Amino acid sequence: MFASFKKFAVAALLATSVAGALAVSLGPTLSRAASTGPTSPAAAPEFTGIDNWLNSDPLTLAQLRGKVVLVDFWTYTCINCVRTLPYVTSWYQKYKDQGLEVVGVHTPEFPFERSTPNVQKAIERFGITYPVAQDNRYATWEAYRNQYWPAFYLIDKQGRIVYRHFGEGQYAETEAQIQRMLAQRG
């Protein structure tokens, strides 16, 4: 029995070492693959399959045409998402009167995050006053071909995605892109 345990422990240690080595060697490559920054403008997908709208009546991108829209894919138990929220809420407060609309697309990672009361409590806890679309079936997530929490998609006044950012960081660059889009003529 000890021999089998020893073989198992060695195999587990080897697998962990290989996985760690791959993560270190592929990490920067994967980060670059999930790059951020300006993109070739492409039509933004419509919000689809939304279970509930919180802080707002249902919205469409057609209704928001002429505004700059920041779509923020998030979920309330993702620490990376939580760390971005002070920036997102600040941008909303700072630029909403200049034509910025923020739409939080809450896409759950875990089953308990599908609960509307749980999402409402999180919205209150984090001081979110902008519209939040509850995307429990991942319909909008899939329409954007999104793969990450958090993820920002900046949409220009003509309804085209012009910038995206995945993960934390690059807040100054994202804010500069918001300012640039707001300064452009509609």
Give 57-111 pLDDT, tens digit per residue: 999 999 999 999 999 999 999 999 999 999 999 999 999 999 999 999 999 999 9
Query: What pTM value is reported for the model?
Result: 0.81
Helix (H, G, I), strand (E, B) or coil at 85: helix
pLDDT at 33: 35
pLDDT at 185: 84
C-beta separation of 137 from 51 below 8 A: yes
142 alpha-carbon distance from chain centroid: 12
Q: Which one is predicted more confidently, 47 or 30?
A: 47
CA gap 152, 30 in Å, rounded: 18
Residue 24 to residue 18: CA distance in whole angstroms = 10
Give which of 150, 144, 84, 136 is closest to 108, Cα–Cα. 136
